[in-house]
Amino acid sequence: MQFSIDRTSVPRAARRGVLLIEILLGIAVFALFVSAVGLTLLRGQEGTEASGDRVRGTEYAEKALEAARSIRDQDFSLLTAGQHGIQVDGIGRWQFAGTQSTFSGGYTVSLTITPIAQDEVVAMAVASWNRSPNRPQSVRLQTVLTEHSATKTVGNWSAFTLSGSYAVGSQSANPVLNDIALGQGHYAYVGANSLTQSLFIFDVASPPALPPPLPVNLGVSVYASAVKGTMLYAVTSDPNGEIKAFDITNPTSPIFVTSYDLPGNGNATSLVVDGDFLFVGAKGLGPAAFLPHSPPPIAFAPLAYGPLALANAIADHAYARAYCLTVDCLDSCVPAGMACTQDADCCGTPCILNTCDFLSSSAASSSSSSASSAAASSSGPYPNGNDFFSFDISNPTVIRYLHSLYVGGVNWIHIAGNAAYIASTVDTAELRVVNIANPAALAFAPGSVNGAPQGGYDLTDRTLDGTAITTTGTNAILGTQQDSPPLTPSIVLFDASTGGVPTTNGPWLYSASGNVMRVDADASGCYAFIATDWRSQALQVIKIKDHSMAKLLTYAIAPPVQRTGRALVYDPALDRLYLIDHWTLYIFTPAAGPSSCP
């Protein structure tokens, strides 16, 4: 049996109703599509505007900090404490005006000055704006400003006084102190070879009354440290994050901010801060070429920790980073071996050939994001990478790798102008000079002396390591190891007036009768201060003016024999000298009267 439908039996009105519904549905779908496109464009426009607002806000905040610097240059005393607005006076100079300033576009800017020492203030600029109801936005920038003229006149260091000392240990309980860094205000940060007492924070405001230092537990040893404003940078024994950064806005309560993993396992030896750049040296590594990438660190919100919790915070940071090497733990990261288009996809490890280059799991635990590409190299005895590194630290929360060189072993670094002077472990180049005019393109200074590799100076009378370096005026002072009798002079004074490898007059020599641990000098170029491992002359002061190299005074550390000079630093602002032995901090001041170098 067959059935058929008589279409003529369907009413025309019904067919018209169906067509109307179809038209309405089509219009609705099209309207939804147009709305979606419109919303997308609107959101994109809002995002673009928000980004532009933030850029302009940052510019206004930077302008406020520039105003603070200009006011500082006029007269440091004009940087009065409190919240200020800024304006230009009738003769074109910046000055404070009111408590805030309004700029075109609806931006409000305030500048807060907070004194932290007699000759130092923190300047914080806040730019704020409000484009949407109940959604105010702001940008906050800060810097530390120092009085240029605060350096004291150099006293008579041909005689000095022990103004104070404090022992943090003893022969039986010895943390072994390593280095001193002077921080904001009146604080000294002393690193140590100790997992439980890694850092001692001394209040050195009023010697001889030195209160007990605050011991900080980092869980790793601190080899060297440097301060930039409210940030403390340290090189440590941590094999998975040798460089560490701490916020010391509160000088006695460091906040762990971030870390950076160098090649090798705890091989870093020294660091120095120069403006917005950090330079780090290491030894025990080998030559390798670094790819020119700048891997971002994993973003962890900085938190304040007490001394006992700080080590756990750092360990958690390292663990989280290792976790990112194997799983997708961040929205912007992908697991090992997965496809990537940029370094940011790879949890801070390079995106190599469109694949996250985590190497093997064992390499990942000991290699840094900056060294991952270098770890595959076999061009040197230690294929993990180079040993002199430059980083951008303009953003306090980021340690951004820029460039590196293979020096052959770095014991100490000193920056003067566009040159980094390096005390090297290379027997044929105890002194090495690197041009740092462009920190993103490091290069050895042209030339060499006595057949040394480029940028090097070979002291042909010895096969000993360079151990310490500093500069003052047109002089560079290198300290070396001490050989067995006959004793080779372990202090070498170079004429560094050319700003590169010393090739003119000199060198001039002085026998410190011990391995030189650290050397420093006053800015006038009169005195050099030397710390040695010879206990009976752990501190030596010599006159270097006119290249006389005359011993003026020494200081003997009390027995036992294990106590020797470890490090020292001269403070030009207070004309003070700080020395450490294995477990004691000493503070020296010069005798009354004029300098030995009128």
Cis peptide before 590 (omega within 30 of 0): no
**What is the spatial distance between Cα 254 and Cα 304, in angstroms, rounded to a whole number?**
7
Confidence grade of residue 4 (pLDDT, cut at 50, 70, 90) = low
In 502-561 the beta strands, taken as DSSP E runs, fall at 508-510, 516-521, 527-532, 539-543, 550-555
Q: Give tens-digit pLDDT for 532-587.
A: 998 899 999 999 998 989 999 999 988 876 789 999 999 998 999 999 999 999 99
Confidence grade of residue 526 (pLDDT, cut at 50, 70, 90) = very high
- Each domain of the chain, given as residue ranges in start order, spans 47-150, 409-556
Contact 177, 567 (CB under 8 A): yes
Q: Which of 251-265, 367-381, 399-413, 583-597 has the lowest mean pLDDT?
A: 367-381
Query: How much is the pLDDT for 42?
Result: 64
Q: Is the pLDDT of residue 315 over 60?
A: no
Contact 415, 461 (CB under 8 A): no
Domain 409-556 is found in CATH 3.40.50.261: no
Query: How much is the pLDDT for 365?
Result: 29
Residues comprising the chain, all counted: 598
Cis peptide before 213 (omega within 30 of 0): no
**What is the spatial distance between Cα 298 and Cα 368, in angstroms, rounded to a whole number?**
12
Q: Give tens-digit pLDDT for 122-131.
A: 899 999 888 7
Query: How much is the pLDDT for 581?
Result: 93
Question: Which residue has tokens 């030009």?
Answer: 572
Concatenated DSSP letters of 108-161: EEEEEEEEEETTEEEEEEEEEE-SSTT--EEEEEEEEEE-GGGPPPP-EEEEEE
Confidence grade of residue 262 (pLDDT, cut at 50, 70, 90) = confident
Q: Which of 39-43, 234-238, 306-310, 574-578 has the lowest mean pLDDT?
A: 306-310
**What is the spatial distance between Cα 575 and Cα 520, in angstroms, rounded to a whole number?**
13
Full-model pTM: 0.67
Instruction: Read off the pLDDT of each residue in 57-79 and give the average, rounded to a whole number.
Output: 86
* Residue 68 parent element (H or E): helix 12-74
Q: Is the pLDDT of residue 454 over 80?
A: yes
DSSP conformational letter for 376: G
Higher pLDDT, 114 or 73: 114
Query: How much is the pLDDT for 244?
Result: 96
Q: Give tens-digit pLDDT for 479-520.
A: 999 887 767 899 999 998 888 899 877 899 999 988 999 999
Confidence grade of residue 306 (pLDDT, cut at 50, 70, 90) = very low
Positive or negative, the CA dihedral 57, 59, 62, 63 is negative
Query: How much is the pLDDT for 141?
Result: 85
Count of alpha carbons within 13 angstroms of residue 207, beta-carbon side = 20
**Helices marked H in 150-288:** none
Q: Is the pLDDT of residue 35 over 90?
A: no
Instruction: Read off the pLDDT of each residue in 259-286 and give the average, rounded to a whole number.
Output: 88
Q: What are phi and psi of 131, to 5 degrees?
A: -90, -30
Instruction: Read off the pLDDT of each residue in 291-317 and give the average, rounded to a whole number.
Output: 40
